[in-house]
Structure 1
Amino acid sequence: MKKVLPILASVIIIGLIANCQFKSEPKPEAKQVDPAAYTMKGKELATATQKVLGGNLKAAIESKGTEHALEFCNVKAYPLTDSMAVALNAAISRVSDQPRNAANTANEDELDYITHAKKVLAEGGEVTPKLAQLGDKVVGYYPIITNQLCMQCHGNPDSQIKDATLAKINQLYPADEATGYSEGELRGIWVVEMDIDGE
């Protein structure tokens, strides 16, 4: 027993010394961001992407009509958004609580923002963007508000959407949830994910 105690004491002391020497490094603090600067940057990126999509959509309607524009959206909306994301060095997507394409279904955080934004609009307020920092990224949510042009494909199916257009919607998007809107409503949101500068 007398021989075991010194050995045990030595093991404990060595263990304590080793533990002190190999303490884990403290985690680096998250970089502080300027919310106003990133909100503006995200808005610029969302607006630029909206202009490209909207311009192409309007051209498709003017050249071959609304049904052609639906085919254009079905095939070209994702590639155009992706190319803008690459050009602008950000991840950009459109999501909704009533998606036309199931791939554009909002997640829980996005749904929270959409629900809040709809409430603000219903009370006559103005919807403002939301910004969140997630590690080394900043994510911004930006509202997409319906206008007169939107009503051709997203308005009331009984009074605003032509039968041929509705048939094309049902053909291309059998699980469509994106009709029944009025002008000035929240159709969905742009989600813009930006790297924090210097990352």
Structure 2
Amino acid sequence: MLKYHKCIKYRQINTKKLYDNLQSKCQQLNENIHKIFTIMQTSLQEFGFEKYSDNNWYYLNYDDTLPKLWECYKKWIKKQSMYYLYYLFVLLFIINKNMLHRYQTRESVRAAYVLSNKKWKYYEIAFDYDNRTIMLFDTNKSKIKCLQVGNPNKSSLEFNVHIRYFNDIDIHETCTKWACLILNHTWRFRTMSFMDRDCLSNCCA
């Protein structure tokens, strides 16, 4: 829905089909369907869906849809296994001050400039490791851009990327020195500091 928020089929959910799909997953994972279904309905309400008289769910609010969905997406994306593995890694090495500093900095990487159509644009960033995707949100135009970094069918632990560092100086406007990187020989990012670039690289790798 985040990618195709204007498409009507992503704005309506059949309750019976939703329940059947969840039940199938719960049987595979030996989970309680009633508990999961209750959580799912609560989440739908949080996303902005409403249940109508036909007992199905609809998202009919077209005003400021993307900003709200983006906030929900950022919250849910951190429930991926990759994030839990990283938090576990941090806890194991929390006594090391350098590792603690790296953890705190990586958590702060939420935005960067990306070169698009020969212009640098500011985007908020979310890392979807399960689908090997970097999601970019243009806060000014409320638009989503998706960077498919790898094969989404592979394990999220196989997030193979190529990263090259370089520096850039804006001599025409701000005379600012930028810390930049190129991801997979294609996408160019820039940040205000070398530390932010390192953290961005860690998130991409």
TM-score (norm 2): 0.22
By relative contact order (CA 8 Å, sep 6+), the higher-ranking structure is 1
Larger radius of gyration: 1
Which structure shows the higher strand fraction?
2
